[in-house]
Structure 1
Amino acid sequence: MADTPRRPLSDLRQGETVQATITSHQPYGLTAELNDYDPVGASMDTIRRSSEPGVKRLALELPPVGATVDLVIGKVRVWDHDPWIWVDLTAPGPGED
């Protein structure tokens, strides 16, 4: 059985819920791989987003590295250096997950 094709990064939309696998914990939060998309840099800054209810709840107990969770596209950032695109993630609010 062939691997399922990944969606292009042009399909990323702010507010969209995506499945992400946690790849590391960082002092500011976490990094993740977006499971259904072409490879792209992605992270959640739990300090900057600490006032958001979903992030606050997630930050109390960060998912372990390797866990797959539902996260939300906060913003898609285009940079002038590699990685050319970075996804700023947030967490679903209460009742959204």
Structure 2
Amino acid sequence: MTSHQPWGISVVILGHEDIGASVDAAVIDSPSANPRALPEEYPPVGAEVDAVVQQLRRYSSPAWARLSLRGQDLECFRWGCDFCGTPTVLSPGGDGVTLDVRSADGPGSTAVVAHRECLAVRLHAQSLERARIRSVGRSL
């Protein structure tokens, strides 16, 4: 934790100092049961804590990571599918995948989150990627 802000916390990811990172107050567990952690509930500046990468964006340099400190996210991370809108599990063994979308025209990229099936059924019927999407990252 490098500094407290009105919206959350600025952080550094150890070993990835070239990536900007932050934690929004809405993804910090609040002992007072508020939907957003209160500033006094933030981990102290200088603390090292476990976190889950919620989003990674590379629209422009440097890349930016949004992290979650919620205990439930550390156990099983869910994010809304960009195709159907319902949550998909992105933790190991989950039903979700993320795609890094880049242009051949220049720098920058974005990420798309999807259920494996939501993505697979949108690919051309003859695409070999349908089968790969259904199995990528899974143990054989």
- Fold-level similarity (TM above 0.5): yes
Instruction: Give the share of equivalent positions with the same residue, in percent.
Output: 38
Instruction: Indicate the residue corresponding to 1:64 in structure 2.
Output: 44
Structure with a larger share of its residues in strand: 1
Q: Answer with 1 or 2: which has the greater Rg.
A: 2
**8 A contact 1:70–1:92 mirrored in 2:** no
Structure with the bigger RCO (C-alpha within 8 Å, sep 6+) is: 1
* Unaligned segments of structure 2, at least 5 residues: 32-36, 76-140
Distance 2:5 2:49 in 1: 17
* Unaligned segments of structure 1, at least 5 residues: 1-21
Deviation digits for residues 3-32 of structure 1 (CA, Å, limit 9, x no counterpart): xxxxxxxxxxxxxxxxxxx01111100010
Distance 1:26 1:66, change over 3 A: same
Q: CA deviation at 1:82?
A: 3.5
1:73 to 53, 56, 59: 53
Q: Secondary structure of the residue that 2:18 maps to in structure 1?
A: coil
Paired amino acid for 1:43 = S
2:3 to 5, 8, 24: 24
What TM-score do the two structures reach when normalised by structure 2?
0.42
Alpha-carbon RMSD: 2.4
Structure with a larger share of its residues in helix: 2
Distance 1:96 1:75, change over 3 A: closer
- Count of residue pairs the alignment pairs up: 68
